[in-house]
Structure 1
């Protein structure tokens, strides 16, 4: 059973997996992973016949995703997988049914940069489409993080991240005119860091 699940889903983000189990994205066909890394969240969608697109700022990561996608018919590696920044997505408005942002937004340099990345992703989502975000927050560890300015913090695990909180996420949800299709959920990892899942519908 374990091997079957690994073959089907790979090393997918467990909270993205949760949305798939719930059928949230059943009607989605065009998918963008904005900050894809080496493709941990694209393998499932490739195997299921979705039109998968991905961007990353690192050449090696995009090369790896192209390699993952090579066996699948109907995928144009040069068009679908590109070296680009999240804040400057090279796609037309309202192209995607789902945009995935997994462990990307907490690398924002400051609030302005965070908002630029968020607005860029929101721009390419069609009305009725979805944004799935997993990002670092201070929720539950507010007294354990140390501010170094510009919205960035040193976490108890000694990593440096741009951190959000629930009030900030709700404020941006309203500013986008978005709907929360799931409550904001946070996993506290032994008081070393907190990762929050933020699921929006346009």
Structure 2
């Protein structure tokens, strides 16, 4: 059983090569969770969004078109380079900052500097539960009080949960991709500094994949 840093490093290399081989593997339309986040952030009057695991940028570009300023992080530098080009071509390049980043490390933005944090299945990467604890604490650190965190995860009701090669800590590998599946206890555990507002179940893709969309608000003061 492979654990820890070597496991995720191998996955990051796999994602990088996948993005290069399939430059539009997820299409160009925003995900359903991206559409939800845009509507929510607009209603809240938010401006600055930090996106974790932007990938090929289908949600990033939708955020830009909606008028948000976006800091997009991803480990795959090739995907970020293509995202920069797409943003410039669409006339939104000045709204976008991209940074190649490993989410196991400190997020490269200052304390209380963003209105919202968003990610679509980034939290399903081959991270250990303690690494998720660190990432959740980092999200709370960079959010302004009252800011929102929206993320999606495949959960333990998904068809691939328990299938394929096990790697411990509710991680299973199928088709070369390792997914850390969430149960409700892990959702509740990762609310550090935030209030859980909503957990909505939805389906996506051909399996279909079964996911939760999770919405949290940064508390005004520590409790």
Alignment TM class, shorter chain as reference: 0.7 to 0.9
Deviation at 1:126, TM superposition (A): 0.8
Q: Once structures 1 and 2 are overlaid, which stretch shifts more, 186-195 or 31-40? A: 186-195
Equivalent-residue separation in structure 1 for 2:210 and 2:100 (angstroms): 29
TM-score normalised by length of structure 1: 0.78
May I ask how many residue pairs the two structures share in their alignment?
185
Deviation at 1:37, TM superposition (A): 0.4
- Residue pairs, 1:136-155, within 5 angstroms: 136-139=154-157, 144-145=162-163, 147-154=166-173
Does the 8 Å contact 1:179/1:200 carry over to 2?
A: yes
**1:81 corresponds to:** 98
Q: Give the SS at the match of 1:169.
A: helix
Q: Give the SS at the match of 2:58.
A: coil
**1:72 corresponds to:** 92
Deviation at 1:185, TM superposition (A): 2.1
Deviation at 1:18, TM superposition (A): 2.7
**1:4 corresponds to:** none
Does the 8 Å contact 2:158/2:210 carry over to 1?
A: yes
Does the 8 Å contact 1:141/1:191 carry over to 2?
A: yes
**2:203 corresponds to:** 187
TM-score normalised by length of structure 2: 0.72
Equivalent-residue separation in structure 2 for 1:169 and 1:38 (angstroms): 26
Equivalent-residue separation in structure 1 for 2:178 and 2:100 (angstroms): 24
Deviation at 1:144, TM superposition (A): 4.8
Q: Give the SS at the match of 1:182.
A: strand
Q: What do residues 80-108 of structure 1 show as CA deviations (whole Å, max 9, x unaligned)? A: 21111223211101111111111111113
**1:15 corresponds to:** 33
**2:69 corresponds to:** 51
- Residue pairs, 1:118-129, within 5 angstroms: 118-129=136-147
- Residue pairs, 1:147-166, within 5 angstroms: 147-154=166-173, 159-166=177-184
**2:215 corresponds to:** 199
Task: Give the RMSD, CA atoms, in angstroms.
Answer: 2.6
**2:16 corresponds to:** none
Q: Once structures 1 and 2 are overlaid, which stretch shifts more, 138-147 or 11-20? A: 138-147
- Unaligned runs of 5+ residues in structure 1 are 1-9
